[in-house]
A and B are shown apart, each in its own frame.
Chain A
Amino acid sequence: MFEILLDATVRAGTPILFATLGAIINERAGIINLGIEGLMLIGALAGFAATQASGSLLLGVLAAFVAAMLAGSIHGFITVQLRGNQIVSGLALTMFGIGITALFGRSMVGLTIAGFERVAIPGLSKLPVIGKPFFNQDLLIYFSFLLVVVISLFFYRPRWGLALRTVGENPAAADTCGVPVILARFMAVTIGSGIVGIGGAYLSLATTPMWIENMTAGRGWIAVALVIFASWSSYRALAGAYLFGGITAMQLRFQAMGTTVSVHILQMMPYFFTILVLVISTIRLQKGASQQPENLGQPYDREDRK
């Protein structure tokens, strides 16, 4: 019973995990990206369409990454190069994503593909309790574990990881040290957006191997809130994503058990808890030293440097 619930938790949390990791990369470089919901949809559709056409899941994931990267580059160009309003541009990206996937997804409705299958890791999958939920999963889930570690190492080890963080904290200082601020920010937005796209593809290639209009159903927004819960750390993003995977899994479990509680009330739970967690983590951040990138949301213009 507990194993099944934990398994469902990991599977429901993975798309949110990818999306949160992508959003963290954006925000570490100082750019708020509210287009996560739209990027996930673009990734979901592109991934499904590519797999449907080619029969290859790997190509699907790659297509999701590239499509979301391209869409994210619009946000990057407007906020980084043109110094446009980040909040409005992100919202525009979400709307654009919802609209364009509805338009081009028409011909994909009703089609099916063979989605990702479970691959047991020898040895580890035999562990009690955590073996099956964590090590008898599909390849994308293993990839998400790897990504959590890589992103965390990236921000603290190599020179250009540290440089990227400086760009978000103090772009003028980074500029003085010869870091190409504009390029670094633009790259962070596009690559981060691509990773968000993989989260969308998880929905259409693994969770339910098909395309449904607006299939993300607010998961992108939950990811935006989780960035704050995670205080911009990839390990805490993992915890946050699984927390919401858990709430979703539990909610579905209740529905399957046939409780008398209305389906609609149960479906509210993930959104309700996201707000609750957001409030708690915001208060907590203010009490301790804030992890928020100092220059988050601020455009950088060399001429304004003091």
Chain B
Amino acid sequence: MKLITVKRELSSPLLRFAAPFISVLVALFVAGFLLLAAGVNPAQAYLEMLQESLGSTYGLSETLVKTTPLIFASLGVSLAFRMQIWNIGAEGQIYMGACGATGVALFSGIENHAVMITAMFLAAFLLGGLWAGVAGVLRARWQVNEVIVTLLMNYIAILGVDYLIYGPWKDPKGFNFPLTAQFSDAARLTEFFDTRFHSGFFLALFCALIMYLFMERTVWGYEIKVIGSNPKAARYAGMRTGLAIFAVLFLSGAMAGIAGFGEVAGLQHRLQHGISPGYGYTAIIIAWLAKRSAIGVVIVSFLMGVLLVGGDSLQLSWQLPVAFVYAFQGLILFFLLASDCFMHNRLKLVRGERHV
């Protein structure tokens, strides 16, 4: 007897739509055993996660606060994924975006709110874009592996921000804590309902809409898909693949940079250590779960927002480490990959050796 996989003719659209959600559920189920092993009651923990993230106005506002950077960064990562370019460096690009926005907020001396916010936005866009653009140039010019370059540049970006906030940008009145001075009111996004929920969320939705139109309705969006699925055909059709690789990585990094802008302008109002607790890595999972669709990114980002806020509450009540959420995310990806396989294949038990 032998277990083999047999190709399916067609998988139902319903199954394809449901697969990411099923993967999340199965991952939660398996993670339950991990929690159990670590001495935490999983049913109680999951209930608490839901209550904390969705059960109150405050909880919901916190979930949306975390959804915001996730949408920006995941849109960027998905754009690159569409072209089979792996931008694993969203985390560093968020830091660089935050860094650019902070530089403008602290040192430009602009007093007009709209001008200030626009300038901060552009600085974040540019710096995030250029940070990823380095990997773009290396990949386009010499086929240097962009996975490794973008990832290693995360460490450099985070250390670079540390250098600034422990050194030249440190708030002189900050009792020697590693953070910059607070931004002036001109450099802050509007907050609503007495919560930390800020207008960055609407900007994120707007960006998702732009990205959807760009990907589905423009020639460039189409070219990106073609280059991704068949680079040879793209070259024969006269598409400039090298330029496209750079442009896509630049835009991808710029989107992550905007996430950094949102975090400093909308939330922290200063640059500090750990400005992103791994949003850039979560964005990779979101992009994959959402199958690189802009609308999907918004839905899955909210789902991950729930997971992150819930995870934070577990950290307080059960003393679980923050990084535990990564174990969840890893499991979700494993099950999603497995479900992709079962989407196109059936398992079948056969007798004896299989003959081809």
A contacts, CB < 8 Å to B: 34, 38, 74, 78, 81-85, 87-89, 91-100, 102-106, 213-214, 217-218, 221-222, 224-225, 228, 262, 264-265, 267-268, 271-272, 274-275, 278-279, 282-283, 286, 302-303
- Known contacts A99-B330, A228-B145, A286-B142; is A264 also within 8 Å of B153 by CB? no
Among the listed A85, A222, A278, which residue makes an inter-chain contact with B337, where contact means beta carbons less than 8 Å apart? Answer: A85
Inter-chain contact B159/A95, CB cutoff 8 Å: no
Inter-chain contact A97/B330, CB cutoff 8 Å: yes
Contacting residues, chain B, for A222 (C-beta < 8 A)? 152
Interface size class of B (residues with CB under 8 A): 35 or more
| Bound form: Cα–Cα A64–B330 in Å | 20
Contacting residues, chain B, for A265 (C-beta < 8 A)? 159, 163
CB closest chain-A residue, reference B332: A92
Contacting residues, chain A, for B115 (C-beta < 8 A)? none
* Contacts A84-B337, A95-B330, A222-B152 known; 7 new A-B pairs at CB < 8 A: A89-B333, A103-B34, A214-B323, A264-B159, A275-B152, A286-B142, A302-B356
Contacting residues, chain A, for B155 (C-beta < 8 A)? 217-218, 268, 271
| Bound form: Cα–Cα A83–B163 in Å | 43
- Known contacts A87-B86, A221-B148; is A99 also within 8 Å of B340 by CB? no
| Bound form: Cα–Cα A265–B163 in Å | 7
Inter-chain contact B330/A92, CB cutoff 8 Å: yes
Contacting residues, chain B, for A88 (C-beta < 8 A)? 284, 288, 333, 337
- Known contacts A264-B166, A275-B152; is A99 also within 8 Å of B145 by CB? no
A-B contact pairs, 25 of them (CB 8 A): A34-B147, A74-B334, A81-B5, A85-B337, A85-B340, A87-B147, A88-B333, A91-B284, A91-B333, A92-B331, A92-B333, A98-B327, A99-B325, A99-B327, A100-B34, A103-B323, A104-B38, A225-B148, A262-B167, A265-B163, A268-B160, A275-B149, A279-B142, A279-B144, A282-B145
| Bound form: Cα–Cα A97–B324 in Å | 10
Q: How far is the CB of A213 from chain B (nearest CB, A)?
A: 6
Inter-chain contact A78/B337, CB cutoff 8 Å: yes
- Known contacts A91-B284, A99-B330, A262-B167; is A282 also within 8 Å of B144 by CB? yes
Q: How far is the CB of A302 from chain B (nearest CB, A)?
A: 6
Contacting residues, chain B, for A92 (C-beta < 8 A)? 285, 329-331, 333-334, 337
Contacting residues, chain B, for A78 (C-beta < 8 A)? 334, 337-338, 341
Q: How far is the CB of A27 from chain B (nearest CB, A)?
A: 12
Inter-chain contact A89/B337, CB cutoff 8 Å: yes
Any A CB within 8 A of the CB of B208: no
Any A CB within 8 A of the CB of B48: no
Among the listed B284, B323, B325, B338, which residue makes an inter-chain contact with A82, where contact means beta carbons less than 8 Å apart? Answer: B338
Inter-chain contact A102/B324, CB cutoff 8 Å: yes
Contacting residues, chain B, for A264 (C-beta < 8 A)? 159-160, 162-163, 166-167
Q: How far is the CB of A38 from chain B (nearest CB, A)?
A: 8
Any A CB within 8 A of the CB of B156: yes
Map CB proximity to A onto B321-355 as digits: 1 under 8 Å, 0 otherwise.
11111111111011001101100000000000000
Any A CB within 8 A of the CB of B138: yes
Any A CB within 8 A of the CB of B320: yes
Count: A-B pairs, CB below 8 Å:
149
| Bound form: Cα–Cα A222–B145 in Å | 13
Contacting residues, chain A, for B324 (C-beta < 8 A)? 99, 102-103
Any A CB within 8 A of the CB of B143: yes
Q: How far is the CB of A212 from chain B (nearest CB, A)?
A: 12
Contacting residues, chain A, for B288 (C-beta < 8 A)? 88
Among the listed B138, B151, B327, B337, which residue makes an inter-chain contact with A221, where contact means beta carbons less than 8 Å apart? Answer: B151
Contacting residues, chain B, for A89 (C-beta < 8 A)? 333-334, 337
Any A CB within 8 A of the CB of B88: yes
| Bound form: Cα–Cα A78–B143 in Å | 27
Contacting residues, chain A, for B333 (C-beta < 8 A)? 88-89, 91-92, 95
Inter-chain contact B327/A282, CB cutoff 8 Å: no
Contacting residues, chain A, for B284 (C-beta < 8 A)? 88, 91
Counting chain B CB atoms within 10 Å of each CB, which of A91, A105, A262 scores highest?
A91
| Bound form: Cα–Cα A265–B155 in Å | 11
Contacting residues, chain A, for B138 (C-beta < 8 A)? 279
Any A CB within 8 A of the CB of B281: yes
* 10 tightest A-B CB contacts, nearest first: A99-B327, A96-B330, A99-B326, A92-B333, A102-B323, A84-B337, A95-B330, A82-B341, A264-B163, A102-B321
CB closest chain-A residue, reference B6: A303
Any A CB within 8 A of the CB of B7: yes
Inter-chain contact A83/B145, CB cutoff 8 Å: no
Q: How far is the CB of B163 from chain A (nearest CB, A)?
A: 4
Q: Which of B289-345 contact A (CB under 8 A)?
A: 319-331, 333-334, 337-338, 340-341
| Bound form: Cα–Cα A105–B323 in Å | 11
Inter-chain contact A271/B156, CB cutoff 8 Å: yes
| Bound form: Cα–Cα A85–B336 in Å | 10
Q: How far is the CB of A304 from chain B (nearest CB, A)?
A: 10
| Bound form: Cα–Cα A282–B135 in Å | 13
CB closest chain-B residue, reference A274: B152
Q: How far is the CB of A149 from chain B (nearest CB, A)?
A: 27
| Bound form: Cα–Cα A74–B337 in Å | 11
CB closest chain-B residue, reference A101: B323
Inter-chain contact B326/A95, CB cutoff 8 Å: yes
- Known contacts A97-B330, A225-B152, A262-B163; is A282 also within 8 Å of B143 by CB? yes
Contacting residues, chain B, for A38 (C-beta < 8 A)? 330
Inter-chain contact B330/A213, CB cutoff 8 Å: no
Q: How far is the CB of B279 from chain A (nearest CB, A)?
A: 13
| Bound form: Cα–Cα A208–B189 in Å | 45
Inter-chain contact A96/B331, CB cutoff 8 Å: yes
